[in-house]
Amino acid sequence: MESERSNLDKVPSNRVELIGGPTADLEDGHLEAPRLQESVAAMARRAGIHQWDLGAACSSDRSVQVDRGEAKQLKAAQRRSITVRVWNDANRIGITSTSDLSEAGLARALEGAKAASAFGNEDETPAFSPLATAPLPTLEQPLHPSLGILKLLATLKEAEADLLGRHPAIATVPYNGLAERSSERIYLNSDGACRQQRLTTASVYLYARAEESGRKPRSSGAVRLAYGADGLDVAGCIEEAAERTIAHLDYGPIPTGQYTCVFSPEAFLDLIGAFSSLFNARAVLDGVSLSSRDSIGQALAVPFLAIHDNGLHPGNVGASAFDGEGTPTRRLSLVEGGMLRNFLHSEATARAFGVEPTGHAGMGAKASVGANWFEVGPSPESGGGAGGLDRFLASRNGGQGLVVIDSLSALHAGVKASQGSFSLPFDGWWIRDGEQRSIDAATVAGDIRTVLHSLLGFEGEAKITPDGLCPWVWVEGLAVTGDA
């Protein structure tokens, strides 16, 4: 359910009516998971339901956008939802979702899921995760009070004005936003699992547009996350957005050819994320992954590459302690020493592979599987694979120079994950004969398997981004198509 009000600074905290009349306040209290579990269990017994589970999510959001010092959009929203799954005596599953958290609403959801179970797919039947009652990891996630819509607006106005003043060519900041959220998640099941997590998060993004006479507009931006709006590094976001935008003003064409490329941490994580089906057991079973059942233990990349999925990393703002099936989140080695070590699993895929769930499942009649937060870097035993710059300078790459890829675009259209190929527009710089110049317009193309086997090394300290942890990554011999 979503509600919006005109007097946004008076939006009340999100109060959710639970079974039997008690309320839970997302700002000042908690959802009462144990009491909710008791009530749902009692309703299930009355309905003749022996096996069920439930996932609940509630949130209270406030966000603002501005345009040249004026409020462009002020928004407050309250959302709540519950998904209920029921197994019948034939072990078929039915599922329903509702935003009605009253006793009558939940009773209808249980009855609806029970009725739907008669039509469940007998070939796709998830079970409870064997780890749904295992101890949860401890996360350091401080709760921050809401600053309110007016304070958010004032902060974003100041940030926009500061960014506009960084360079005469920066005419607008067309994409910007400052938001804060208070949320709560629950997972319950009829075997006694009772998971609950409360979280506050905030984000700010600034995307500037620079225009000079007789030249094409140039754009770039930055984003920052924190546990509360009062903890956001707004100054750092302004500085990064300004630096990136200004660095792209002096641009020129690049000849089409094969280049050694250096990916920014954000760009390389985007590329790995676009091909995360390599590590996804659900995609493997469905036949839409480049990996197969037999791929574990095989070489996927150069021997010095390591990739982990670590949703528990302290830099992962918004980390979940458990997945949609109640499985605890943990650090999982995906690639170590260039070898594929593990897949991401739900309960159903783990059962098919004869392993434990890994904490990457969504809730559904056919549970989805997805990555949490990537860590990319050198394998400890490999010596790091560093020295990409030295190796490049020694060879001079035939005098063509070096391409720095700052950000990738059109990932939704330019990636064919099941085939491994990509062709993506990018923003970046061409470095040749000691000079660096922004690239007017170009695309980078290749095959992810070739990329992973063509890494030269890593440069600099690993950077924390919204999608993971990664240093600058050197890749040899990528096809760049330019205008020259």
pLDDT, tens digit, 9 for 90 and up, residues 301-337: 999 999 999 999 999 999 999 999 999 999 999 999 9
Domains and CATH numbers, the chain: 8-205 (3.30.2290.10), 250-484 (no CATH)
The whole-number pLDDT of residue 389 equals: 53
pLDDT digits (tens, 9 = 90+) for 205-226: 999 999 999 899 999 999 999 9
The whole-number pLDDT of residue 123 equals: 85
Q: Is 244 exposed, middle or buried (0-12, 13-18, 19+ CB in 10 A)?
A: buried
CA dist 264 and 411 (Å) reads: 16
The whole-number pLDDT of residue 384 equals: 53
Single-letter amino acid, residue 246 = I
Q: Which two tokens stand for residue 410?
A: 């059109």
Angle among Cα 37, 90, 82 to the nearest 5 degrees reads: 30
Q: Which two tokens stand for residue 382?
A: 């490999």
Length of the chain: 484
CA dist 231 and 142 (Å) reads: 11
66 DSSP β-pair partners: 71
Three-class SS state of 276: helix
pTM exceeding the 0.85 threshold for the entire prediction:
yes
Q: For the chain, which ranges sit under pLDDT 70?
A: 1-31, 381-399, 484
Give residue 397's region: left, alpha or beta (phi > 0; psi -120 to 50). Answer: left
The whole-number pLDDT of residue 265 equals: 97
The CB density around residue 319, as the number of other CB atoms within 10 Å, is 20
Supply the DSSP symbol for 22. -
The whole-number pLDDT of residue 251 equals: 94
The whole-number pLDDT of residue 10 equals: 36
Between strands 218-226 and 194-210, the pairing is antiparallel
